[in-house]
């Protein structure tokens, strides 16, 4: 057989690698910034774009989709060509993919900075960007499958199975979760409401972890780890079993983010048991990675690349054991809404994703530039800084989470709560400080890497098109006696379809009943749609990212009911497009905020939280007192809501702004009767508060969770007093 000569495209790999480094630094800087805001509220600079609510989505999107995203593409474009013995299908598509993805990132950063967000965690980007993501993802898919199809290797290697599953599942998750109805170019409402929106969102959110942060990285591990160690993969049959089990089970586990919420119990239970069953498939990946190093452990002592991989895979094992434990309801009752979860995700993020990325870059850049790494010693120092950084990050977060949770739940002998919320926050400030030191160390390590890679690039000479040869693919002979899985490995399209079927099962079984079976969301007659002013206020709430610190979900625990009021019911959220249950309680829950504090309190509080609550770590929102509420969007918003089935009367969009003005006037008049508020208005020169955004926000806050109280009052006065 005549060998064919061809060239691997290294230029695209280099581009993605540079982007990985750049966005890694940006994303981690944003992370460090928000970490400092926890103990130094002034770090927001009183500027909207740098408050936690807006910077946190920038941080998460940057590290997940920009840093890890580019890292995945770097690894895929490098390994896929070599595993298929073929150049990428199309250089043009590669370029479109690269520039398209970077455009998405820049647009994402810019829109989030200006508060343009859907308010759904990890899916904050507005609809035009969602569409762009879909297009670029399709480009990536065509390019990938084109390459696989024109391969010169009869079977596809396990790394590529993971790439295929990643591609199809991410496509499915992104499209289903991003279905939204546009109001204008910068604003849309989620198609789903309340409980259903929550289920779809966490089905997406959990599997973003699964299929963006796990499966593609496992694919990279299966290529780069055996390459760097020069050892055979430990077990082919373990690869098969853990691959299929992983993608099948992962998709079911989303509801474990919603334990003890208003999500139906059966869905919560499915989330629990599938999370527990997920331990073994996850650990299968870890074992296959670590056992591949059998006989090469002496190299680990020498080679920084392997050092990074070993810690990465170990962190993967740790967080995939911890995850299922956190999914047990009794552990979740302690950990959820606390910093424990933040610690957990950063073991995965800093340890698994970060260290895999660094190991890969230290391996790749010298290869691309045909030179040894500039300094092994510097890389080893990076490794140790990073490891210490992770430890200093994680331990304080576990500590903080546990402490705060126990404080929340502590009752006095008299049967009242021992600690006011704020005290549970100030208690853990030292832990926040330590955490940011850990993060800073990790980032310093990254700067070491940037310098090291820069020097390596300088000393080497880039091979843009790397020559290779391989025999063309033979027509498949009859493989009657072949192992069944080997057959699939020759048919990438079948593998794609099979993966899709496997990931569809769990999703469909959980989603469809929640949407179709009425009893899952018992309706509450007194729950009414938001007034136009409240709706506008809700959009400000979403814009400012209040959900990143405040939950709106009271769980059926004695302490939460005592602290916040009656626990949340599924029927209360039927008009919430999108749901705003949140996932973290840096501030108190707001699910029953309505009527709890007077309007005047909110007015003073939002202007400077430390005026009303000494030691509060909430940022100031002075711009809400300057900005006029944009009422031109009201009719469009009402119409969009009507399309989604919210029962506003026909033609209400035309008169909605009248109601809005009336309600704003009432609130503003009430505010003016308070002397402290009047004093603030005079100092700040706020002449017409009824026009300002703050009034809309107050209207919304005073509405949250109130409807159900009205129902209680009408049915049973005694009960309402309880």
Partner 1 sequence: MKKICRAGMIAFILGSSVPAMAQGPKPESSLNNPLALTLVVIITALALIIGLLAVVVYGAAEVELKKQQSQKSNTGAVLTILALLIATTAGAQGSAPATTAAVSDNVGGLSSSTYYILMVVLVVEIAAIFFLLFQLRFLLGAAKAKVTQADKTEEAAVEYKPAKPQLNWWDKFNKFRPVEKEADIDLGHNYDGIRELDNRLPPWWLYGFYFTIIFAAVYLYRAHVSHAAPSSAEEYKIAVASAEAQLAERLKDQKNRVDENTVVLVTDKTELDKGKTVFMSNCKVCHGALGQGIVGPNLTDDYWIHGGNIKDLFKTIKYGYPEKGMQSWKEQLSPVEIADVASYIKSLRGTNPPGAKEKQGELYVENGGSTPADSTGAAKADSTKAAK
**Interface of this chain with partner 1, residues 396 to 425, rule: CB under 8 A:** 406, 409-417, 419-420, 423
Q: Which of residues 547-606 bind partner 1 (CB under 8 A)?
A: 555-559, 561-563, 567, 595-601, 604
Joined together, the tokens standing for residue 207 give 């599997």
By CB under 8 A, tell whether 427 contacts partner 1.
no
- Per-residue CA distances from 12 to 8, 9, 16, 87, 596 (Å): 10, 6, 6, 11, 57
Q: Which CB atom, from 95 or from 227, has the smaller least distance to partner 1?
A: 227
Could you tell me if 306 and 346 are in contact, meaning their C-beta atoms sit under 8 angstroms apart?
no
Q: Which CB atom, from 536 or from 568, has the smaller least distance to partner 1?
A: 568
Could you tell me if 571 and 698 are in contact, meaning their C-beta atoms sit under 8 angstroms apart?
no
By CB under 8 A, tell whether 248 contacts partner 1.
no
User: Which residue matches tokens 């990643």?
Assistant: 166
By CB under 8 A, tell whether 474 contacts partner 1.
no
Alpha-carbon radius of gyration of the chain: 27
- CA torsion 130-136-140-145 (nearest 10°) is 80
Phi-psi region of 523 (alpha: psi -120 to 50; beta: other; left: phi over 0): beta
By CB under 8 A, tell whether 298 contacts partner 1.
no
By CB under 8 A, tell whether 233 contacts partner 1.
yes
Q: Which CB atom, from 154 or from 643, has the smaller least distance to partner 1?
A: 154
Q: Which of residues 190-229 bind partner 1 (CB under 8 A)?
A: 223, 226-227
Q: Which CB atom, from 197 or from 566, has the smaller least distance to partner 1?
A: 566
Per CB under 8 A, the segment of 102-110, 238-246, 367-375, 530-538 that binds partner 1 is 238-246
By CB under 8 A, tell whether 434 contacts partner 1.
no
By CB under 8 A, tell whether 517 contacts partner 1.
no
* 202: nearest Cα among 589, 583, 499, 539: 583
In 271-406, beta strands by DSSP E? none
Q: What gap in Å lies between CA 681 and CA 272, rounded to an integer?
A: 51
By CB under 8 A, tell whether 491 contacts partner 1.
no
Size of site (CB under 8 A) for partner 1: 86
User: Which residue matches tokens 């024109």?
Assistant: 150
Could you tell me if 524 and 709 are in contact, meaning their C-beta atoms sit under 8 angstroms apart?
no
Q: Which CB atom, from 181 or from 276, has the smaller least distance to partner 1?
A: 276
Q: Which CB atom, from 272 or from 574, has the smaller least distance to partner 1?
A: 272
Shortest reach from residue 49's CB to partner 1, in Å: 29
By CB under 8 A, tell whether 274 contacts partner 1.
yes
By CB under 8 A, tell whether 677 contacts partner 1.
yes
Could you tell me if 368 and 77 are in contact, meaning their C-beta atoms sit under 8 angstroms apart?
no
User: Which position among 276, 345, 500, 504 is part of the footprint of partner 1 (CB under 8 A)?
Assistant: 276
By CB under 8 A, tell whether 9 contacts partner 1.
no
By CB under 8 A, tell whether 256 contacts partner 1.
no
Q: Which CB atom, from 95 or from 155, has the smaller least distance to partner 1?
A: 155
Joined together, the tokens standing for residue 464 give 């843009």
Q: What gap in Å lies between CA 229 and CA 214, rounded to an integer?
A: 21
By CB under 8 A, tell whether 505 contacts partner 1.
no
Q: What phi and psi values does residue 4 have, to the nearest 5 degrees?
A: -95, 140
Q: Binding pattern to partner 1, positions 636-665, x when CB under 8 A?
A: ------------------------------
User: Which position among 43, 241, 496, 524 is part of the footprint of partner 1 (CB under 8 A)?
Assistant: 241
Strand, helix or coil for residue 410: coil
């Amino acid at each position: 057989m005549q060998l064919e000569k061809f060239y691997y495209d290294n230029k695209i790999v280099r581009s993605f690698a540079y982007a990985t480094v750049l966005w890694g630094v940006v994303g981690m800087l944003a992370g460090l910034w928000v970490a400092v805001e926890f103990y130094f509220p002034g770090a927001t600079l009183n500027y909207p774009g740098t408050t936690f609510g807006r910077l946190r989505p920038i941080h998460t999107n940057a590290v997940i989709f920009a840093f890890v995203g580019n890292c995945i593409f770097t690894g895929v474009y490098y390994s896929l060509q070599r595993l298929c013995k073929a150049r990428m299908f199309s250089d043009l598509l590669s370029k479109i993919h690269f520039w398209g993805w970077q455009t998405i990132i820049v647009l994402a950063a810019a829109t989030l900075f200006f508060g343009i967000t859907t308010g759904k965690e990890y899916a904050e980007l507005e609809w035009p960007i969602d569409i762009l993501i879909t297009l670029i993802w399709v480009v990536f898919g065509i390019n990938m499958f084109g390459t696989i199809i024109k391969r010169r290797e009869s079977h596809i290697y396990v790394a590529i199975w993971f790439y295929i599953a990643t591609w199809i599942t991410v496509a499915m998750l992104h499209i289903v979760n991003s279905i939204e109805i546009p109001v204008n170019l910068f604003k849309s409402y989620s198609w789903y409401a309340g409980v259903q929106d929550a289920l779809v969102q966490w089905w997406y959110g959990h599997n973003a972890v699964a299929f963006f942060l796990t499966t593609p990285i496992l694919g990279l591990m299966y290529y780069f780890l055996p390459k760097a160690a020069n050892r055979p993969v430990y077990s082919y049959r373990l690869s098969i079993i853990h691959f299929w089990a992983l993608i099948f089970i992962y998709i079911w586990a989303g509801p474990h983010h919603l334990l003890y919420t208003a999500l139906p119990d059966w869905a919560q239970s499915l989330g629990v048991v599938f999370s527990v069953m997920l331990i073994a498939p996850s650990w299968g990946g870890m074992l296959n990675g670590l056992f591949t190093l059998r006989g090469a452990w002496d190299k680990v002592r020498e080679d920084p690349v392997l050092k990074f991989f070993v810690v990465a895979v170990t962190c993967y094992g740790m967080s995939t054991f911890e995850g299922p434990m956190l999914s047990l309801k009794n552990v979740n009752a302690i950990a959820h809404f606390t910093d424990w979860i933040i610690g957990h995700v950063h073991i995965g993020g800093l340890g698994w994703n970060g260290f895999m990325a660094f190991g890969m870059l230290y391996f790749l850049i010298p290869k691309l530039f045909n030179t040894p790494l500039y300094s092994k010693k510097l890389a080893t120092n990076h490794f140790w800084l990073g490891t210490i950084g992770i430890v200093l990050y994680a331990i304080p977060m576990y500590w903080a989470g546990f402490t705060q949770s126990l404080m929340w739940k502590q009752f006095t002998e008299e049967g009242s709560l021992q600690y006011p919320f704020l005290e549970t926050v100030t208690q853990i400030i030292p832990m926040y400080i330590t955490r940011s030191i850990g993060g800073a160390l990790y980032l310093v390590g990254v700067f070491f890497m940037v310098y090291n890679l820069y020097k390596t690039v300088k000393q080497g000479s880039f091979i843009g098109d790397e020559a290779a040869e391989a025999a063309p693919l033979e027509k498949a002979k009859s493989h009657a006696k072949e192992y069944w899985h080997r057959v699939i490995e020759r048919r990438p399209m079948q593998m794609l379809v099979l993966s899709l079927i496997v990931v569809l099962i769990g999703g469909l079984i959980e989603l469809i009943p929640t949407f179709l079976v009425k009893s899952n969301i018992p309706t509450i007659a007194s729950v009414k749609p938001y007034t136009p002013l409240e709706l506008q206020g809700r959009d400000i709430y979403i814009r400012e990212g209040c959900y990143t610190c405040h939950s709106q979900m009271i769980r059926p625990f004695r302490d939460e009911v005592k602290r916040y009021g009656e626990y949340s019911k599924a029927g209360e959220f039927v008009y919430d497009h999108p749901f705003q249950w949140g996932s973290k309680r840096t501030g108190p829950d707001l699910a029953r905020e309505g009527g709890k504090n007077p309007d005047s309190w909110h007015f003073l509080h939002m202007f400077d939280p430390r005026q009303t609550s000494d030691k509060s770590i909430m940022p100031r929102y002075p711009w809400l007192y300057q900005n006029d509420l944009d009422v031109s969007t009201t009719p469009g918003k009402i119409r969009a809501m009507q399309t989604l089935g919210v029962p506003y009367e026909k033609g209400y969009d035309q008169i909605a702004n009248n109601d809005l003005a009336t309600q704003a006037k009432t609130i503003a008049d009430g505010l003016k009767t308070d002397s402290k508020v009047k004093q603030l208005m005079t100092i700040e020169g706020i002449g017409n508060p009824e026009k300002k955004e703050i009034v809309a926000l107050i209207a919304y806050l005073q509405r949250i969770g109130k409807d159900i109280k009205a129902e209680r009052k009408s049915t049973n006065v005694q009960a309402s007093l309880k």
